[in-house]
A and B are shown apart, each in its own frame.
Chain A
Amino acid sequence: TQLLEQSPQFLSIQEGENLTVYCNSSSVFSSLQWYRQEPGEGPVLLVTVVTGGEVKKLKRLTFQFGDARKDSSLHITAAQTGDTGLYLCAGRISGTYKYIFGTGTRLKVLA
């Protein structure tokens, strides 16, 4: 069974703090995506990483794909209340078009 484990599951921080969310698996993925989801809505794509060791930056968000393409991290610098939401990682299983999702990290940024 292929699993993607995210940690932490819950995170509550003050505005201005930094944080890192981790996504880990024993499986190798062709690509990995990060999403943010608001209550009652579908996930919104933030970024896709494809190459092992790849680092992508999106304003205050930095995404990294592990060298072995089994894990990824999302780092947020100077968190803002607007960053509050459920963060999901999803890996595409090599040789298929099937994605598996992580369990999610629920982030709350307090003013």
Chain B
Amino acid sequence: DTGVSQDPRHKITKRGQNVTFRCDPISEHNRLYWYRQTLGQGPEFLTYFQNEAQLEKSRLLSDRFSAERPKGSFSTLEIQRTEQGDSAMYLCASSLGAYSSYEQYFGPGTRLTVT
């Protein structure tokens, strides 16, 4: 079990460019979450997938943000026309949909800097 992986770990982009991040969850986990974390704050929920279905989306996720999980395995988060306010750590987490505690396991994150 290699854990949750995210790619890239760091991304620097110019304002107005599009960026895409990838998350590979733990292999048997059917739930996948995206969060955004700014300096000094706890992670903020962005969106959640159960298998390939996007079941919930935060109001924080503007029209410039889109997430997919096409085959219920890896997921991508795309930000179009990036703004400086998008600079943050983007975290992915996965969990097993068993009737227990729904524990989330996080990846190392992708640090986005918009210049």
B16 at the A interface (CB under 8 A): no
In chain B, residues 95-112, which have Cβ atoms closer than 8 Å to a Cβ of chain A?
A: 95, 101-109, 111
User: Considering the chains assembled together, what is the distance between the CA atoms of A88 and B40 in angstroms?
Assistant: 11
The 7 A-B residue pairs with the shortest CB-CB distance, nearest first, are A101-B42, A42-B106, A48-B101, A101-B43, A42-B109, A43-B106, A42-B108
Interface segment out of the listed B44-52, B68-76, B79-87: B44-52
A97–B31 touching, CB < 8 Å: yes
**Within the complex, what minimum Cβ distance (angstroms) separates A28 from chain B?**
16
User: Considering the chains assembled together, what is the distance between the CA atoms of A35 and B107 in angstroms?
Assistant: 13
A42–B107 touching, CB < 8 Å: yes
A27 at the B interface (CB under 8 A): no
- For A43, the closest partner residue in chain B by CB is B106
> Interface of chain B, helix or strand or loop or mixed?
strand
Out of A43, A48, A97, A102, which one reaches B55, CB within 8 Å? Answer: A97
Interface string of A26-50 (1 = CB under 8 A from B): 0000010101000011111100101
A100–B102 touching, CB < 8 Å: no
A80 at the B interface (CB under 8 A): no
Q: Which residues of A contact B102 (CB under 8 A)?
A: 31, 92, 97
B103–A43 touching, CB < 8 Å: no
User: Considering the chains assembled together, what is the distance between the CA atoms of A35 and B108 in angstroms?
Assistant: 13
B28 at the A interface (CB under 8 A): no
User: Considering the chains assembled together, what is the distance between the CA atoms of A14 and B26 in angstroms?
Assistant: 38
B56–A97 touching, CB < 8 Å: yes
B67 at the A interface (CB under 8 A): no
